[in-house]
Structure 1
Amino acid sequence: MGNDMHDQTMMFRAKQDDIVAASDILHTVYGALKEKGYNPINQVVGYLLSGDPAYITSHRNARSLIRRLERDDLLEELVRFYLEGHPSQSELK
């Protein structure tokens, strides 16, 4: 019961190059979706949840770009950006 692998926390570390690439790709995809008249947030969420690249336009090579990275890398970049850019209520006090 004590040494079960499910009880241990795994460490995950992204390389700095992966972080930059994910950020650049997300910005490019966002711009391409917006240019084509889509709601970029909804489309990216649809892609991240389903893995279906049809949510991303091929305009400006966005579909090909977003598929260069694993969805977990994209999610990590989104979580990092949000949490590092938005202090919690307790940090504001």
Structure 2
Amino acid sequence: MSRLDSTQNFKVLSESENRVGDILQQVYQAMTEKGYNPVNQIVGYIMSGDPTYITSHNNARSLIMKVERDELVEELLKVYIEAKL
């Protein structure tokens, strides 16, 4: 049984960070090319898990489904914090 008074470490391998960033960039570009608001659509996908929020243009839907949603959130949060601090 795990203890509720201790904090667990969560670490994603750094090689996947580059892959996640590249995939997000490609998905963002595909969404923009198709005239969608990429931020709204990616948020919809992350919140729901429904891949239909992501266009299939340029294979964006298949690409984003290769990454776990928690990895997407981690990458977005990391980049945001690094830009703001």
Instruction: Give TM-score scaled by structure 2 length.
Output: 0.94
1:50 match: 48
- Partners of 1:20 and 1:85 in 2: CA distance: 17
1:20 match: 18
1:48-87 aligned within 5 A: 48-87=46-85
Alignment partner of 2:31 out of 33, 49, 55: 33
Residue ranges of structure 2 left out of the alignment (5+ in a row): none
Bigger radius of gyration among the two: 1
- Partners of 1:84 and 1:39 in 2: CA distance: 24
RMSD after superposition:
1.3
State the Cα distance separating 1:4 from its structure 2 match: 5.9
- Partners of 1:80 and 1:4 in 2: CA distance: 28
SS in 2 for 1:5: coil
1:8 match: 6
How many pairs align?
85
Q: Which runs of 4+ in 1 moved over 2 A?
A: 3-7
Residue ranges of structure 1 left out of the alignment (5+ in a row): 88-93
